[in-house]
Amino acid sequence: MAVALLLIIVVTCVIALHYRKGIARHFKNRLMLSRLPSLPDPAYPLIGHAYLLRGDPSRFFEFVTETTNAMVTEVNEKIGILWLGPVPLMVVCHPEAAEVVLRSSKHMEKSYLYKFLHPWLGTGLLTSGGEKWKQRRRLITPSFHFNILQDFLEVMNEESGKLINNLKKKLKSGVKVDVGKAVTMCALDIICETAMGQTVNAQENDDSSYVRALYRISELIQLRQKTPTLWWDPAFSRMKLGKEHENLLSILHGFTRDVITKRAKTRDQKIVENPRRMAFLDVLLHAETEDGKTLSLNDIQEEVDTFMFEGHDTTAAAMTWAIYVIGRHPDIQKKIHEELDAVFGEDRGGTITNNQLQKLSYLERVIKECLRLYPSVPFYARVLSEDCKVGDYMVPKGTQTVIFAHTIHHHPYVWEDPEKFDPDRFLAENCVKRHPYAYIPFSAGPRNCIGQKFALMEEKVILSKLLHNYFVVSHDKKEDLVINGDLILRSSTPLNITLEARK
């Protein structure tokens, strides 16, 4: 007995000595985190503050919004600590604190929250870090050259034209139109054509297996992110949800892999010399790394799947919120109509040129203000790569960090009358003194959104065509909205928006 006890003591001491640095670091980190502002409600072991969700993961956005608003208005803090299960999250809700994280070339690693995207997106531009991210960023940047964006503008014109024609048919026959869904299907067709050179005809068939899989996989990923009991992969894979997740992945990967394989067969036929139009996939197929190697099919699939996810849902959400807000402000809508009439005249179905888009300065300010009120991506998550000072506090290396863009965009000490819809906030003279990280709908710093020019171009094309043809009326009051903010900010129910043909 004594020998066994002695052996246990010796083994324990050996383990403690072996991991002494890690143990010391752990207690040091906990001490540093304990000094950060926290919620008045206690965090309990294992579940943290999750009990405040009252068992309803859909309350996550509401919960975090209430928390960060309290930090801002009641105690005027720039950061705070929130425990999601056993994991501490540093919540950033002020532009000065956001700049420390986003501007740095060191804090480039994405949070563990993004690991739930790995089965679908692999480690592409959105989810990768380190040298792999730098290499992919360099390779993909040419995809958004002005000349290629011009090819993309052609696609946007075609698909937005289909949108208007479909709306006219439905409204003429008296069919109730879900404007948000119609715009989303249009955005999906645009990203399919521009990313892969192939459309899924979502506007004509929104019930295809690929479209359904695309939306369902997003729901499951967001559910896992905010539900600690679904985090452990071995257990999740055996659940009914886990098996559904695997089936959805086979549909999504099967579709994109099939398109890539067929397109790759023409790689040696110099299709880039005289393509019908350039697709993002074509750029990837002909891209070479610094050592002269081409990307593998798996590498290409990571990026194509990433663009399918990022390139339509965020843009569709932004346009849906913009239509809603415009429909609540007839005075703003009147100014938009006046600008559209001045630029396009009576031609309500023609091709929009880049020169015409540049003249839509008021519509662009409206879009920016809508993105301030309703940022498509409500938060960005990173991991601190070293101890650093954020606000008035030292925060330890390895801390999971969430920059809450929605709160920053509504910060009462940063934005005057933040709940008011005022596009003139984005007049040049009104932007001069504003903190550069006070407005971050496309993130900021080295890892900002590579496709933001593409997104703004698409939003201007679709919204200008829609608003040139229709007067929009939004029937939901702002105070009645229930907003879900996970990966994408959206209403929990379809927005009640109607269209009236302009005469």
Mean of the pLDDT values across residues 17-29? 57
In 3-state terms the chain splits into helix, strand, coil percentages (rounded to 5) of 60, 10, 30
The CATH number that domain 133-501 falls under is 1.10.630.10
Cα Rg for the chain, rounded, in angstroms? Answer: 24
**Is the pLDDT at 275 greater than 60, yes or no?**
no
Mean of the pLDDT values across residues 135-142? 84
Q: Which residue has the higher pLDDT, 329 or 5?
A: 329
- In terms of DSSP bridges, do strands 400-404 and 87-92 run parallel, antiparallel, or are they unpaired? parallel
**Is the pLDDT at 374 greater than 70, yes or no?**
yes
Measured distance CA(441)–CA(371) in Å, rounded: 6
pLDDT tens digits for range 383-412: 998 998 888 889 998 898 999 999 999 999
Mean of the pLDDT values across residues 467-490? 89
Lowest mean pLDDT among 67-71, 199-203, 214-218, 239-243: 67-71
The pLDDT assigned to 99 comes to 95
pLDDT tens digits for range 153-200: 999 999 999 999 999 998 888 788 899 999 999 999 999 998 888 878
Measured distance CA(395)–CA(389) in Å, rounded: 6
**Which residue type occupies 68?**
T
CB atoms within 10 A of CB 158: 15
- 13 is an annotated ligand-binding site residue: no
CB atoms within 10 A of CB 139: 19
pLDDT tens digits for range 44-85: 887 887 777 766 666 778 888 888 887 787 767 888 888 877
Residue that the structure tokens 């119609």 belong to: 182
Residue that the structure tokens 């000065």 belong to: 96
The pLDDT assigned to 445 comes to 92
Share of the chain above pLDDT 70, in %: 90
**Mean model confidence pLDDT for the chain:** 86
- In terms of DSSP bridges, do strands 483-485 and 489-491 run parallel, antiparallel, or are they unpaired? antiparallel
pLDDT tens digits for range 84-112: 777 888 999 999 999 999 998 888 888 87
